[in-house]
Amino acid sequence: MVDQGLDTVVAGLRCRDVLADLSEYVDGQLNAERVSALQAHLGSCDRCSRFGGHVMNLLHSLRAGLAEPPALDDGSVRRLRDRLAAITAPA
């Protein structure tokens, strides 16, 4: 393998092409043939494998850490309810 950065070819795929497919790969959106090709690359390319792992970890951390929205402050809730009450009150 000759190191040509993102144009390095491992297991028949360029790193550039693996990077382009990374999101769909982690989302399980690729067909079986493409998944096999990417897995062959990732199995032999330390840079892509580590980077992919980092992105997976990032997404996991994001979903686990920030999924629950922070509660609205009392003032926002009160203003929202007051505004709604004004338009839903019977005439």
Partner 1 sequence: MRGAEAPVSDDRALLRAAAAGDAQAFEVFMTAHQAAVFRYLLSTTGDGVDVDDALQETFIAAWRGAAAFAGDTTARGWLYGIARNVVRHQLRRRVGEPTHVDSVEQLAEQAGWGCADPAETFGEATIARDLLSVAMSRLPQDECEILTLRELDGFTGEETAQLLQLSLPAMKSRLHRARIHLAAIVRVLDGPRNTTATGVAHG
Which residues would be at the binding site for partner 1 (CB under 8 A)? 5-6, 15-16, 19-20, 22-30, 35, 38-39, 42, 46-72, 76-77, 79-81, 83-85, 87-88
Least distance in angstroms from the C-beta of 15 to partner 1:
7
Least distance in angstroms from the C-beta of 29 to partner 1:
8
Q: Which burial class, exposed, middle or buried, applies to 13 when counting CB atoms under 10 A from its CB (0-12, 13-18, 19+)?
A: buried
When the beta carbons of 12 and 66 are compared against partner 1, the nearer one is 66
Distance CA 27, CA 25 (A): 5
When the beta carbons of 12 and 69 are compared against partner 1, the nearer one is 69
What number of H helices and E strands is found in the chain?
A: 4, 2
Tokens encoding 82: 């007051």
Least distance in angstroms from the C-beta of 79 to partner 1:
6
In residues, how long is the chain?
91
